[in-house]
Amino acid sequence: MSLKAFQYAESFALQMDGQDPLRGFRDCFFIPEQNGKPVVYLCGNSLGLQPKQVGEYIQKELDTWAHLGVEGHFQGENPWVYYRKRSKHTLASLLGACEEEVVAMNQLSTNLHLLMVSFYRPQPGRYKILTESGAFPSDQYIFESQTRFHGYDPHDAILEVAPRPGEHILETSDILDALDRHSSELALVVMSGVQYYTGQRFDMRHIAAAARQKGIPVGFDLAHAVGNVPLSLHDWGVDFATWCSYKYLNSGPGNVSGVFVHQRHAKSFDLPRFAGWWGYDELTRFEMKKGFKPMPGADGWLLSNDNVLGLAALQASLDLFLEAGLENLTKKSEQLTGYLEFLLHQVTNGKNILEVITPKDPASRGAQLSVFVHKGGKGLYDKISASGIVCDWRNPNVIRIAPAPLYNSYEDIYKFAVALDRALAASD
């Protein structure tokens, strides 16, 4: 549907919701309340809502624990020793990967460190990391500490590609140009899949292809991409990736992360890595022998036994993704975000108050619009929040709005526009 077909009218929003084949999934989530009324929750890019079946999934494992104790590792409906394998099918689908290329484990920052142990192998003259300017702080700290660990100055070893003067998003051509110009110095290319601040979806396919052509390992932080935008990590030739599961994947605060390691590294057992018991060949793991023998595929990067209760919460959401279908969710996401973009233009009516800094092309964004507020941004955000809208403020001047297709409706987008309209009027 083109922007011209949208209408700033409650009747239109309700009509769109009535025609939405995914509308029933909203009832699968708890919607928080404010002053006794459901909020308009547009913050799935920070923390996804709780699926109602999470309690059931966790309770099942609590019951197993209660009735079987330690024997739950090998008995029961889902033996814990293999529990991570439940998530592989849907994760592989969401990431465009083979099942052996993905595994749920740890947290994102831990995983990025572990993966950089394997794929950031600097040497004299070729030790630099190429990334985007303004990467999420945890990634910046990881790059700094990794370069220092290898004896390099982060100010020299980290190359950041920034938007052109006066612009907010990165041109793919500028990224590829920087990669080409510095290729002889680069030991690693690692970027976000979707930039947390601007909401820009990077052209991972072309970035990965360019890096691979130069023989440079390439990885992505997919915290804001997984469960949000279509991914084809295997076909794109990405070496590694990691993500968190508590944003668009709705697994709960601080819950389990995951890693992708391309199939070509599946049996690269001599690739440096930090080892742990659960990454050891599971057929002989309990022989307790010295000498690390990693499992093939991404599982060879495991350290500790599975966080069963966390994985149960994740599985509750993954099963909803599997039922809804990623293609259907992507289509609705584009429609919701497009409707939000239309209403922002309607509300501001050409006034230079707000500026959408997320790319207009649906192929270059996901379920997020970042709105740059030219004046009085925090006050405007506070007014919107007080009216029952949950979105997100990012210093110094951006409001992030993220309509998640599993549980957000067109009516949610309309209500946000009305709240924004009133807040702007009150600010005049």
Report yes or no on 313 lying in a domain: yes
Report yes or no on 65 lying in a domain: no
Same domain, 25 and 40: yes
Q: 144-158, 217-231, 246-260, 346-360: lowest mean pLDDT where?
A: 346-360
Report yes or no on 25 lying in a domain: yes
410-427 and 326-348 helices cross at what angle (nearest 10)? 20
Same domain, 209 and 303: yes
- Asked if 120 contacts 239 with a C-beta cutoff of 8 angstroms, the reply is no
Bond before 396 cis per omega within 30 degrees: yes
Q: What is the pLDDT of residue 3?
A: 64
Cα dihedral 4, 325, 96, 408 sign: positive
pLDDT confidence bin for 1, thresholds 50/70/90:
low
Give the domain CATH number at 400.
Answer: 3.90.1150.10
Same domain, 90 and 231: yes
Same domain, 350 and 394: yes
Closest Cα partner for 266 from 238, 293, 295?
295
Q: What is the pLDDT of residue 338?
A: 97
In single-letter form, the type of residue at position 119 comes to F
Task: Output the DSSP codes for 234-298.
Answer: HHHT--EEEE-SSSTT---TT---EEEE-GGGTT-TTS-----GGGB-TTTGGG--SS--BPSSG
Give the domain CATH number at 140.
Answer: 3.40.640.10
Same domain, 186 and 281: yes
Buried (b) or exposed (e) across 410-427, using 16+ Cβ within 10 A? bebbbbbbbbbbebbeee
pLDDT in tens, 396-411: 899 999 999 999 999 9
Q: What is the mean pLDDT of residues 283-298?
A: 95
Q: What is the pLDDT of residue 428?
A: 65
Query: Can you read off the two tokens belonging to residue 105?
Result: 């484990």
Same domain, 225 and 287: yes
Q: What is the mean pLDDT of residues 261-279?
A: 96
Q: CB-hemisphere CA count at 13 Å for 35?
A: 6
pLDDT in tens, 365-374: 999 999 999 9
pLDDT confidence bin for 278, thresholds 50/70/90:
very high
pLDDT in tens, 180-227: 999 999 999 999 999 999 999 999 999 999 999 999 999 999 999 999
Q: What is the pLDDT of residue 350?
A: 72
Query: Can you read off the two tokens belonging to residue 412?
Result: 């949610």
Report yes or no on 56 lying in a domain: no
Same domain, 129 and 249: yes
- Residues in contact with 278: Cβ distance below 8 Å, sequence separation at least 6, in sequence order: 285, 302, 303, 304, 305, 306
Residue 5, pLDDT > 80, answer yes
The stretches of 38-171 forming alpha helices (DSSP H) are 54-68, 88-95, 108-119, 137-149, 154-157
pLDDT confidence bin for 376, thresholds 50/70/90:
confident
Q: What is the pLDDT of residue 351?
A: 75
Report yes or no on 103 lying in a domain: yes
Q: What is the pLDDT of residue 427?
A: 75
Same domain, 249 and 178: yes
pLDDT in tens, 16-62: 999 999 999 999 999 999 999 999 999 999 999 999 999 999 999 99
Q: Which one of 282, 307, 322 terminates a domain?
A: 322
For all residues of the chain together, what is the average pLDDT?
A: 96
Domain that holds residue 127: 78-322
Specify which residues 29 forms β-bridges with. 51
Q: What is the pLDDT of residue 383?
A: 95
Report yes or no on 69 lying in a domain: no
CA distance 25 to 167: 38
Q: What is the pLDDT of residue 2?
A: 63
Q: What is the pLDDT of residue 353?
A: 86
Task: List the Cα angle 357/362/363 in 5-degree steps.
Answer: 110
Specify which residues 255 forms β-bridges with. none
Specify which residues 189 forms β-bridges with. 130, 218
Residue with tokens 């707000």: 354
Q: What is the mean pLDDT of residues 132-152?
A: 97
Q: What is the pLDDT of residue 249?
A: 98
pLDDT confidence bin for 275, thresholds 50/70/90:
very high
Same domain, 265 and 401: no
Summary count for the chain: helices (H), strands (E):
13, 15
**Which whole-number Å values give the CA distances from 406 to 22, 60, 97, in the listed order?**
7, 24, 22
Residue 412, pLDDT > 90, answer yes
- Asked if 169 contacts 343 with a C-beta cutoff of 8 angstroms, the reply is no
Q: Which one of 322, 344, 366 terminates a domain?
A: 322
Q: What is the mean pLDDT of residues 343-354?
A: 88
Q: Phi and psi for 90 in degrees, rounded to 5?
A: -70, -40
Same domain, 82 and 94: yes
Same domain, 205 and 98: yes
Q: What is the mean pLDDT of residues 328-346?
A: 97
Identify the three-state secondary structure at position 352.
Answer: coil
- Count of structural domains, the chain: 2
Same domain, 422 and 389: yes
Report yes or no on 283 lying in a domain: yes
Buried (b) or exposed (e) across 79-111, using 16+ Cβ within 10 A? bbbebbbbbbebbbbbbbbbbbbbbbbbbbbeb
**Which whole-number Å values give the CA distances from 272 to 65, 173, 269, 294, 303, in the listed order?**
36, 33, 8, 11, 14
Specify which residues 258 forms β-bridges with. 104, 243
Report yes or no on 73 lying in a domain: no
